[in-house]
Structure 1
Amino acid sequence: MKIRIEWSYKIPKGCETIFVSEEMPAETALLIVEDLEKTGRSKALHFVDQFDSKWSIKEMKAYIKEIETEPHNVIAYFDGGYDRDTKEAGLGCSIYYDQNGKTYRRRVNQKLDKLSSNNESEYAALYFTLQELEQLEVHHLAVRFIGDSRIVINGMKQEWAISEDSLTSWIARIEEKQTVLGIQAEYELVPRKANSEADKLATQALKGISIGAVSEINH
């Protein structure tokens, strides 16, 4: 969850003003607030989430403690590949997340048939990623979805109007799944080179190479 800090600051002579931080991970924000409290001059400290809901320090500590044993700080890369001759699609996703003080990467792919276009395979890859998040029991969290498909990223951000029935049906399924999981989706468009991991997984799926692995990431 990305949040910002809001607090009042008062100097000895009595002048006071309000400060608002940039958005940051909840864990980082809590560390900063605990340090601000030590100055003795910061008053009315609280956190504000993406829905403009206010959290007290006590509430934020309880939230962080609750999610520590669950996957959080989730970033999901996704990509879809398509073979026009066979009408088969390769779906790939690489999911990074923190859990129990460690960082993990989950890499998985899938082959899917009876799709009509490369664009449809891209949307199918996003839905496949949500299914994998469900398997990880990711819920009621903000998740960054990163892909190189403009029609998917801009379509999900509602910056492009999507009218093809084959695509709008996938959008409906994606939004329904996000609602069920309570996922607050953030979408980011990147160049294909920056999405090479998910692209490779999708290509391997098309070749019949099945991948499903979780590994710890050492910082």
Structure 2
Amino acid sequence: MKVRIELTYKTPKGIETVFRSDDMSAGEGIIIAEDLEKSGRAKNIRFIDTLETSWTLKELKEYMTEIKTEPHNVTVYFDGGFDLETKRSGLGCAIYYEQNDKSFRLRKNALVKELQTNNDAEYAALHFGIQELEALDIHHLSVTFVGDSQVVVNQLNGEWPCLEEELSKWVDRIENKLKQSGIHPVFELVSRKGNQEADKLASQALQEIEITSTIQL
């Protein structure tokens, strides 16, 4: 869960101003807010999440205690590769999350044969990652999805129109699945270099190297 801190700062002479922080994890925000409270000069401390919901320090701490035993702070890296000669696609996803004060990484790939284009493979990889979130019982959270496909990320962000019928079906399928899970998606576009892990998983799938692993980081 990402939040930003908003607060009023008051100097010993009574001068007040409002500060807003950059986005950070909820855990980091709580630590910083508690430190600011100790100074005695910060008041009206609020946390604003990615849905623009406002939290007090007490509310956020209670929420973080409630979800401690469940996967949270979730980021999904996804990538799809398409072999034009064989008409096969490799799907890869790497999911990072926290649970019980520990960090984990799940890596998984799959080889599929029914897709027709590279864009289909990219959408299928994202859908594949969402299915893995279901398997982890991740729901009603904000989740960051990171990919290097401009088509997928910009279309799902609403920045590019989706004119192809087959890709429109993927958009509907993905949006419906996210809605059913109560997941609020945040889509981030990175370079291929910034998506190397998922890219490698997709390539390994095309080489018929199956990967399924979860490790504690």
TM-score (norm 2): 0.94
CA distance in 2, matches of 1:41, 1:27: 21
Q: 1:19–1:196: structure 2 CA closer, same or farther, 3 Å change rule?
A: closer
CA distance in 2, matches of 1:83, 1:50: 37
| Counterpart position of 2:27 | 27
| Counterpart position of 2:191 | 191
CA distance in 2, matches of 1:15, 1:194: 44
**Structure 1 residue 94: deviation in Å?**
0.9
Q: 1:38–1:92: structure 2 CA closer, same or farther, 3 Å change rule?
A: same
Deviation sequence 1:43-74 (CA, Å, 0-9, x none): 22221222322211111011111122111121
**Structure 1 residue 122: deviation in Å?**
0.5
CA distance in 2, matches of 1:7, 1:40: 12
Kindly report which structure 2 residues correspond to 1:97-112, keeping only aligned pairs within 5 A, or say none: 97-112=97-112
Secondary structure of the structure 2 residue equivalent to 1:22: coil
Deviation sequence 1:1-27 (CA, Å, 0-9, x none): 211112222223322222222221111
| Counterpart position of 1:141 | 141
Count of residue pairs brought into register by the alignment: 217
| Counterpart position of 1:73 | 73
**What is the one-letter code of the residue matched to 2:62?**
A
**What is the one-letter code of the residue matched to 2:184?**
Q
Kindly report which structure 2 residues correspond to 1:57-206, keeping only aligned pairs within 5 A, or say none: 57-206=57-206
TM-score (norm 1): 0.93
| Counterpart position of 2:8 | 8
**Structure 2: stretches of 5+ with no match in the other structure:** none
CA distance in 1, matches of 2:22, 2:199: 32
Secondary structure of the structure 1 residue equivalent to 2:178: helix
CA distance in 2, matches of 1:61, 1:188: 27
Instruction: Report % sequence identity.
Output: 52
Q: 1:194–1:17: structure 2 CA closer, same or farther, 3 Å change rule?
A: closer
CA distance in 2, matches of 1:39, 1:45: 13
CA distance in 1, matches of 2:16, 2:203: 58
CA distance in 2, matches of 1:108, 1:83: 19
Deviation sequence 1:156-180 (CA, Å, 0-9, x none): 1111111111111001111111111
CA distance in 2, matches of 1:196, 1:146: 11
Contact 2:91–2:124 under 8 Å retained in 1:
yes
**Structure 1: stretches of 5+ with no match in the other structure:** none
